């Protein structure tokens, strides 16, 4: 199981380097329009790909996942806070599961 610590350290080093290199080295603005655009779109593409379709199997029943997903989308679209969106999605799924168990 010591391999787990190796995984943890490797990812920590990669993640820290990503954060530290620009902050310590880059003091001028990036000029490439493509790279700037690419970096701008990356979080949206990554988080969207991680969320769907994985969210459909996040709970024990697909039905509660779908309802939780719908609630999260509606609240987020109305610009509710991170905490509100996450907790309401969980609560909605919980209520659905009360009925189908």
Partner 1 sequence: MEVGKISDFRDGCRDAIPICLGYIAVSFAFGIESSKAQLTPLQAVMTSLLNVTSAGQFSALSIIEAQGSFIELIVLQFIINLRYMLMSTALSQKLDPELPTPYRLGISYGVTDEIFGVSVLKKGKLYPMYSYGLIFVSVFGWVLGTFLGAESGQLMPHRLISCLGLAIYGMFIAIIVPDTRKSSAVMAVVASAMALSTLFTYAPILNHISSGFRIIIVTVAVAAAASVIAPIKEDGDE
d(CA 88, CA 71): 7
The two three-digit tokens of residue 19, written as one number: 């954060």
Q: Which of 54, 50, 57 is nearest to 93 (CA)?
A: 57
Minimum distance from CB of 80 to partner 1 (Å)?
A: 7
Minimum distance from CB of 50 to partner 1 (Å)?
A: 6
Return the residues of window 13-52 that contact partner 1 according to CB under 8 A.
14-16, 18-24, 26-27, 29-30, 33-34, 36-52
**Is residue 62 close enough to count as binding partner 1 by CB under 8 A?**
no
d(CA 88, CA 15): 30
**Is residue 7 close enough to count as binding partner 1 by CB under 8 A?**
yes
């Amino acid at each position: 199981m010591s391999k787990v610590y190796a995984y943890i350290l490797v990812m920590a080093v990669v993640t820290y380097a990503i954060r530290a290199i620009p902050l310590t080295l880059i003091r001028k603005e990036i000029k490439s329009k493509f790279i700037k655009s690419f970096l701008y779109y990356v979080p949206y593409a990554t988080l969207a790909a991680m969320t769907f379709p994985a969210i459909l199997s996040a709970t024990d029943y697909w039905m509660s996942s779908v309802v939780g997903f719908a609630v999260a989308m509606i609240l987020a679209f109305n610009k509710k806070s991170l905490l509100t969106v996450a907790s309401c999605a969980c609560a909605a799924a919980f209520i659905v599961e009360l009925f189908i168990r």
